[in-house]
Structure 1
Amino acid sequence: MHAIGIDIGGTKIAGALVDDLGQIVRFDRRPTHAVDIQNIEDTVVAMITELADGYDVAAVGVAAAGFIDAAQSTVYYAPNISYRNEPFREKLERRVPFRVIIENDANAAGWAEFRYGAGRLVSDMCMLTIGTGVGGAIVSSDRMFRGGFGAAAELGHMRVVPDGLPCGCGARGCIEQYGSGRALLRYANELADAGGVGIALAAARTRVGVLTGHEVSELIQAGDPGALAALRELGHWIGQASASLAAVLDPQLFVIGGGVAQAGDLLLDPIRQSFLDNLPARGYHPEPEFRIAELVNDAGVVGAADLARLYAAQI
C-alpha cells in the first residue's frame, strides 16, 4: 500500500508517492507562496490528486516547519509561513478522499532516517538537522517522541549559553545561534575579519561581495585552515549540546543532517570530541555513535508518508 508525503518549505513544496519500503514512486515539486495560505492549500491538494492517480493510497502525511498539535491536525505556528492556529488537516480532508496527518518537518525527516536511513538498526535515536537553523527529532523505544502537547524535540532552542545571543524564538543563548549554518557563516566572517588563517575566507568575501554557505563549503572541502576552524567551532557547540541531550535521552545514535552535514567526518570529528569532553560520567556507560544522515533531500517526504501509513494502520 502506498502513501503520499508532502514537505512544505519556505520556498518550495515537495511531494512524493512512496511505497512501503520507503522508495519514491512519483515525485513533484512546486514553489511555495509563503504568505498565501489558500494558495498553499490549493497546491497541496493538486499535488495529492496527481500523485495518487492510478494507485491505492493509504493516507497522506504533510510535513511543515513549526509547532504541530498533539492530534497532528493544527499548525500552531510556523516561522517561515503564515500559519497561525491553522486547522490544516481538517481543510485538506474536506478536499481529498484520504486520511491526513500533519507532522513537524524535522520529525518527518528524523523518522525517515530511523526507518530507512542511518538509524534503521537502532531503537533510540536523536537527529539534529543543521541548516539555516537547528531542527531536531527524537525516537525513543521505536516511537516518535512528540511530548504532551505535540511540540517536543525543538532541540535548536535548548539553551547552551546563559544570556547568550538573542534567538528568533525570543530566548537567548539557544544552540541554534551557535550550531547552525548561520552560526558557521558568522564564525567564518569573524575569521575573515581577523586575518591570519582567515585570509582565504576574506578573499572569497571580497570576490563575491558576501560569504555564503557555498563559498565556505568549497573552502572546507579544499582544506582551507580558516574554513576548517569555523567548522570546528560549529562542531564544538553541537557536540556540547549533544552531551546534554545524551544525559536526558540516552540515545544509541545521533544522526546529523542538513546542508552542513555534507562536510561528513570533517564535521563529525569535532562533534565527537566535544561530546566526549562534555559527557557526564564519561567512561562509565556506553557511548552513542554519530552518523551523517543518508536520505538528504528525500527524508521529509519519505518520513511524512511512512508516518501517515502507520497512522492509517492504527485506526
Structure 2
Amino acid sequence: MLTVGIDVGGTSVRAGVVDSRGAVLDTTRTSTPSGGAPLEEAIAAAVTELAQRHEVSAVGLAVAGFVSEDQRTVRFAPHLAWRDAPVAEVMSQRLGMPVVLEHDANAAALAEHRFGAARGARVAVLVALGTGIGGALLVEGRLFRGAYGVAPELGHLRVVPGGRACPCGKQGCWERYCSGTALSATAEELMRRYPDAPTVLADGPAVTGRRVAGAAREGDPVAQRAMAELAKWLGEGLALVADVYDPEVVVIGGGVSESAPLFLDEARQRYASAVTGSGHRPLARIRTAQLGDDAGIVGAAALARDLAGATAAPRGRRTAVPGAS
C-alpha cells in the first residue's frame, strides 16, 4: 500500500509517495501560497501529480500548527491561513480518498519511532530544533496529543523567568535559548558584550544560526561560545523533559541537529548533571534523528496508511484521485 505524506510548512508544501517500510519513492514540491483556498489547491495538485505516477490510497498532512484531537481540523497555524478549518473533510472530498492531519513534530516523531532513531522505544520524545522548538511524545508507540490536541508544547517551557521575549507572549521560553533563532540572538549578544573579540560574524550578511554554526566549525571563538550556550540550554531543557516524562529515548531533530557534533556531547553532560536524581537513575539515550527533512512526510504517510487500513475498500477496488490516470 502506497500513501502520500505532505509536509505543509510556512514556505513550502513538500509531498512524497511512501511505502510501508518508510521509503520515499517520489516527491514534488511547491511554494506555500497565501490563503486557504489556494493552499488547498496546491495540495490537491501535488497529490494529483503523484497519483498519476503511483497508485496511492490515502493522504496525510503534517501541519505546523494545532490540530484537533480527532485529526480532522486545523485549529491554528501561525504561518498558514487555516483557522478552525475542517481541512481533512474538505481535502478528502476533493481528492476522493481518506485524509488525516497531524502536527508536524508529531508526524516526525512517529516516523522516527517506526523507522528511525526511536525505533522500539517504549517512551520517546522528539525535540525538533529549528526556528523554534517542536516537541512530540510517544508512549508505547502511541502519540500523546493531550486533551485538546496541542500537547506537548515543549518549546514554550519557561527556563529563564523574565528572559528573552517570545512571540507566544511569554518571556524566557526554552526555544528563545535553544534553537536556530536563539543561536543567532546569543551570538549578537556576545558581540555587543565583547566588542573587541575577533569574529568573522561581525562582517558580511546577517548573523543567522547557520552562519554561527559554520563559524563555530572553523574555530571562531564567539560562535563557539554561542554554541556552548545552546548546548547548556539544551541540556537544561532536556532535564526538565526527563523529570516530567522519563523517556527511554530523546531524538534531536530539526535543522539545527545537522550541527549536533558541535553541541550534543556537551548537552548530554549537562542533562546528566541537571536531571533530578542524577547518578541514581537510568538516563535517556539522546540521539540525532535519522530521517532528516523527510520525517514529517514519512510520518504523515504512515498515519494515512493506518487510516486507509481502517477504512479499506474491498480487495481489488482502487481509490484514486479523480482525473488521475
Verify the 8 A CA contact 2:201 2:215 in the aligned structure 1. no
Counterpart Cα distance in 2 of 1:14 and 1:64: 11
Match of 1:65 in 2: 64
Match of 2:314 in 1: none
Residues 1:199 and 2:195 aligned together? no
Match of 2:5 in 1: 5
Percent of paired sites with the same residue:
41
* Matches for 1:49-64 after TM superposition, within 5 Å: 49-53=48-52, 55-64=54-63
Match of 1:17 in 2: 17
Matched AA of 1:162: P
Deviation string, structure 1 residues 251-283 (Cα, Å, up to 9, x no partner): 111111111111123221121122122100112
CA displacement at 1:16 relative to structure 2: 0.3
Deviation string, structure 1 residues 78-129 (Cα, Å, up to 9, x no partner): 1111221111111101101211001101111111111111111422211111
CA displacement at 1:193 relative to structure 2: 2.3
1:118–1:197 CA distance, 2 compared to 1 (3 A): farther
Residues 1:280 and 2:276 aligned together? yes
Counterpart Cα distance in 1 of 2:243 and 2:197: 36
Match of 1:246 in 2: 242
Matched AA of 2:21: L
Residue aligned with 1:98, SS: coil
Gaps of 5+ in 1: none
Residue aligned with 1:207, SS: coil
TM-score by length of 1: 0.94
Residues 1:302 and 2:298 aligned together? yes
Counterpart Cα distance in 2 of 1:37 and 1:21: 32
Gaps of 5+ in 2: 312-325
Deviation string, structure 1 residues 170-202 (Cα, Å, up to 9, x no partner): 2222111111111110111122223379421xx
CA displacement at 1:54 relative to structure 2: 5.0
1:46–1:241 CA distance, 2 compared to 1 (3 A): same
Residues 1:236 and 2:232 aligned together? yes
Deviation string, structure 1 residues 44-82 (Cα, Å, up to 9, x no partner): 011112212253323210011111000101111111112
Counterpart Cα distance in 1 of 2:100 and 2:49: 19
Match of 2:45 in 1: 46
Verify the 8 A CA contact 1:73 1:88 in the aligned structure 2. yes
Match of 2:322 in 1: none
Match of 1:83 in 2: 82
1:220–1:261 CA distance, 2 compared to 1 (3 A): same
Between 247-256 and 10-19, report the one with greater CA deviation.
247-256
CA displacement at 1:7 relative to structure 2: 0.6
Matched AA of 1:155: L
* Number of aligned positions between the proteins: 311
Q: 1:215 aligns with which of 211, 216, 236?
A: 211
Residue aligned with 1:217, SS: helix
TM-score by length of 2: 0.91
1:226–1:107 CA distance, 2 compared to 1 (3 A): same
Counterpart Cα distance in 2 of 1:267 and 1:109: 22
Verify the 8 A CA contact 2:180 2:210 in the aligned structure 1. no
CA displacement at 1:314 relative to structure 2: 3.4
Deviation string, structure 1 residues 3-53 (Cα, Å, up to 9, x no partner): 1101111111000010000011110000111x3211110010111122122
Residue aligned with 2:94, SS: coil
Match of 2:259 in 1: 263
Counterpart Cα distance in 1 of 2:166 and 2:204: 30
Counterpart Cα distance in 1 of 2:48 and 2:294: 20
